[in-house]
Structure 1
Amino acid sequence: MAANGGYNGKCFCGAVELKVSGEPVAMGYCHCSSCREWSAGPVNAFSLWPQDAVTITKGADSLASYQKTERSIRKWCKTCGGHVLTEHPLWGLTDVYAAVIPALPFKPMLHVNYQETVLPMKDGLPKQRDFPPGFGGTGELVEE
């Protein structure tokens, strides 16, 4: 935890550092093919924060970005290639990948885009077929 509240995070090499303040809006797992391809893993652990709760404290000029859709601007460190965050401007949120903030007690609330899963997880958490209604999804749940 940061000295004045919040949590500190960094990319793989430490060239980019950030701070998140307050509490995340949501934490969970995304199973969409876009997140899987981006993360090179079967599932992506996310922590969503209000945009103004995320501050790059070092290395802002070391961040590169890519925008595949209007929903997501993915950012990574140009030095090490480590993924740092994804901005979601339509929702006013920033996803700081859970692994980037090692001291954050990760408490997942749900799974999103579970219809696309390649790694079924039996953890008792709600499994959204796509997204909750407030994020443009159906809100439909699927079974574990």
Structure 2
Amino acid sequence: MTYKIHCKCERVEIALSNEPIVHAFCHCVDCRELLNIPFHSVTAWNETNVSINKGSNEIVAFQHPTLKMQKHFCKHCGEVLFNTNGLNWRVVSQLLISKCNDNELPKELASNRHFFYEQRVVDVKDDLPKYLRGTNGLLYEG
């Protein structure tokens, strides 16, 4: 399967292929620090599954000063296209995927868990599993 995303001004187009490593809600301190949000609904992809089809020279990367994370955005409209993390995953917002698909997130990319829930700043009431320290392992029992 291939999913296409683009920035607001459509100068950059990216293809996401195959399956994401994870599609979930991330509550980690690092995402909050990089993006200034309480948690992040994400799809995370291997670098080899993310192709810039158009506008590679239009993308600017912001390297966080203390984290091994980058934010990649269009230098014209400012739309964040993806982030990278310490594992070099390409982390793409579910919101961006939805916006680029007639405001509908493909069902197979919907969040199926929470991770780093131990670091949360807000409680989320849903039926999804909530992993305390990563993408799997110990579960929140609250």
Distance in 1 of aligned mates of 2:113 and 2:40: 12
Unaligned ranges ≥5, structure 2: none
Instruction: Quote the offset at 1:108 in angstroms.
Output: 1.0
Distance in 2 of aligned mates of 1:118 and 1:11: 29
* Match for residue 125 of structure 1 among 128, 133, 141: 128
Distance in 1 of aligned mates of 2:40 and 2:8: 16
Instruction: Quote the offset at 1:92 in angstroms.
Output: 4.8
Distance in 2 of aligned mates of 1:79 and 1:38: 20
Instruction: Quote the offset at 1:132 in angstroms.
Output: 3.7
Question: What is residue 20 of structure 2 aligned with on the other side?
Answer: 24
User: Does structure 1 residue 77 correspond to structure 2 residue 80?
Assistant: no
Instruction: Quote the offset at 1:37 in angstroms.
Output: 4.3
* Match for residue 108 of structure 1 among 93, 111, 118: 111
Question: What is residue 87 of structure 2 aligned with on the other side?
Answer: 91
More moved, 7-16 vs 35-44: 35-44
Question: What is residue 6 of structure 1 aligned with on the other side?
Answer: 2
Distance in 2 of aligned mates of 1:80 and 1:110: 31
Question: What is residue 136 of structure 1 aligned with on the other side?
Answer: none
Deviation string, structure 1 residues 100-127 (Cα, Å, up to 9, x no partner): 2223413212212212323311212121
Distance in 2 of aligned mates of 1:123 and 1:87: 27
Unaligned ranges ≥5, structure 1: 134-138
- After the TM superposition, which segments of 4 or more aligned residues of structure 1 sit over 4 Å from their partners? none
Kindly tell me the number of residue pairs found equivalent between the two proteins. 133
CA distance 1:28–1:116, shift in 2 (3 Å)? same
Distance in 1 of aligned mates of 2:59 and 2:88: 20
Instruction: Quote the offset at 1:66 in angstroms.
Output: 2.2
Distance in 2 of aligned mates of 1:34 and 1:77: 22
Distance in 2 of aligned mates of 1:11 and 1:40: 20
Aligned-pair identity in percent equals 30
Give the RMSD, CA atoms, in angstroms. 2.1
Q: What TM-score does the superposition give when structure 1 sets the normalisation length?
A: 0.78
Distance in 2 of aligned mates of 1:109 and 1:48: 13
